Amino acid sequence: MINVGIIGAGRIGQVHAKSILSGVPQAHILAIADPYMKPAVAEWAKASGIENVYTDYKKILEDERIDAVLICASTNLHAQLSLEAIAAGKHIFCEKPIDQSVEKIEEVKAALAASPKKLIYQVGFNRRYDHNYRAMRDAVAAGKIGEVQYVRVSSRDPEPPPAEYAAVSGGIFMDMMIHDLDMVRYLSGQEVVELYAQGACLIDPAIGEAGDVDTATVTLKLSNGALATIDGSRKAVYGYDQRGEVFGSKGCVVNANDSNSNIVISTVDGVTAEKPLWFFLERYMGSYQAEVREFIDCIIQGKEPRVGIEDGLVSIKLALACSKSLREDRPVRVDEL
């Protein structure tokens, strides 16, 4: 049994806690901590069998019974908490991004390499564990579509975030499209060498006033010469729009949106189908559980996770390259970062 502590009891911290409680039997949540712990969350944690509820996360790091920590605090704390957890000899699952700075991620990477104890470090790119995207990647890896020539990823949220969130999140490329940048690498099996980003504020003027865009496209060149495009929007009125395609020399593989059912009703008035699931918790709940299950399995078996610190570093470089491209209105090579 792997004893874990969760640092951060907000929405994503609760998601991971519920995932472990309902479907990761090899893990036991010994503690959860948050400086702004809400009474209702504390009561839920206790009722769920989490025996220790703290406002001080250091109590988790100091507890020798705890083998691993899940870092679910605000983004600006991820790198520092990672360094402290490494020093404490804890295995780490860190929500993305590790940090918005390449230098800070490199510091975490160096600390991990210097640790006298072999530590598992996994980054929370949950879409790699989604059943649709995993099936796409398996088809590509098996050679079913031949050599990859083109990748397309569409990602559209059902509603925009508050403007105050956009002002501190790092922008659409850092907090939203970072998943899609990772998907291009994952689905193609290739690295990005150059990209060109364009953006506009077409949905909420307040997001533009906060210095961000709410609609964006990115064109990418991959290491094998293939091309890719990403389109992202902060608002799709019909629900959470998450689709992808990989086209190759022998065919293509496409994934569609998940919905409550796949029924199609045909009548004299027309043909209708169900809308996509509303947002990421509905669409990706299974993937959250699958990624934590792999984290625990990696600790038990002493193997490396499929999404490690290098993936976290590359994704930040790509997001920063997108921001640079948008700002300077030119293609940017990733090695410029």
Q: What is the CATH number of the domain that holds 139?
A: 3.30.360.10
Instruction: Convert the pLDDT of each residue in 215-234 to its tens digit.
Output: 999 999 999 999 999 999 99
Residue 327 inside a domain? The answer is yes
Residues 193, 236, single domain; the answer is yes
The count of other CB atoms within 10 Å of the CB of residue 171 is 24
**CA-based nearest residue to 32, from 57, 49, 67, 15:** 57
Residues 73, 35, single domain; the answer is yes
Q: What is the pLDDT of residue 219?
A: 98
> How far is 40 from 158, CA to CA, in rounded Å?
27
Q: What is the pLDDT of residue 296?
A: 98
Domain that holds residue 99: 2-119
Least confident span in 66-70, 83-87, 169-173, 235-239: 169-173
Residues 217, 250, single domain; the answer is yes
Average pLDDT of the chain to the nearest whole number? 96
> How far is 240 from 277, CA to CA, in rounded Å?
6
Residues 260, 158, single domain; the answer is yes
111 confidence band (pLDDT: 50, 70, 90):
very high
Residue 300 inside a domain? The answer is no
Residue 247 inside a domain? The answer is yes
Residue 230 inside a domain? The answer is yes
Contact 214, 155 (CB under 8 A): no
Q: What is the pLDDT of residue 167?
A: 77
Q: Using the predicted structure, report yes or no on whether residue 137 has a pLDDT greater than 80.
A: yes
Residues 114, 158, single domain; the answer is no
Of 83, 99, 119, the residue that ends a domain is: 119
Average pLDDT over residues 77-90: 98
Q: What are phi and psi of 271, to 5 degrees?
A: -115, 125
> How far is 18 from 24, CA to CA, in rounded Å?
10
Residues 47, 94, single domain; the answer is yes
Residue 304 inside a domain? The answer is no
Number of domains in the chain: 2
Which residues, 6+ apart, have CB-to-CB distance to 33 below 8 Å? Answer: 5, 6, 7, 8, 9, 53, 54, 55, 56, 57, 59, 60
Residues 65, 164, single domain; the answer is no
Of 89, 119, 149, the residue that ends a domain is: 119
Residues 103, 251, single domain; the answer is no
Of 99, 119, 139, the residue that ends a domain is: 119
Average pLDDT over residues 141-147: 98
Residue 269 inside a domain? The answer is yes
Residue 85, domain CATH: 3.40.50.720
Residues 230, 90, single domain; the answer is no
Residue 331 inside a domain? The answer is yes
**CA-based nearest residue to 242, from 291, 278, 212:** 278
Residues 26, 166, single domain; the answer is no
Q: Are strands 241-248 and 148-156 parallel, antiparallel or unpaired?
A: antiparallel
C-alpha Rg value of the chain to the nearest Å: 20
Q: What is the pLDDT of residue 206?
A: 94
pTM, rounded to two decimals: 0.93
In percent, how much of the chain has pLDDT > 90?
Answer: 91
Which residues, 6+ apart, have CB-to-CB distance to 232 below 8 Å? Answer: 154, 155, 156, 172, 176, 177, 180, 215, 216, 217
User: Tokens in use for 210?
Assistant: 């906060």
Residue 159 inside a domain? The answer is yes
Residues 139, 239, single domain; the answer is yes
Residues 105, 19, single domain; the answer is yes
Q: Using the predicted structure, report yes or no on whether residue 292 has a pLDDT greater than 80.
A: yes
Contact 118, 134 (CB under 8 A): no
321 confidence band (pLDDT: 50, 70, 90):
very high
Average pLDDT over residues 166-176: 88
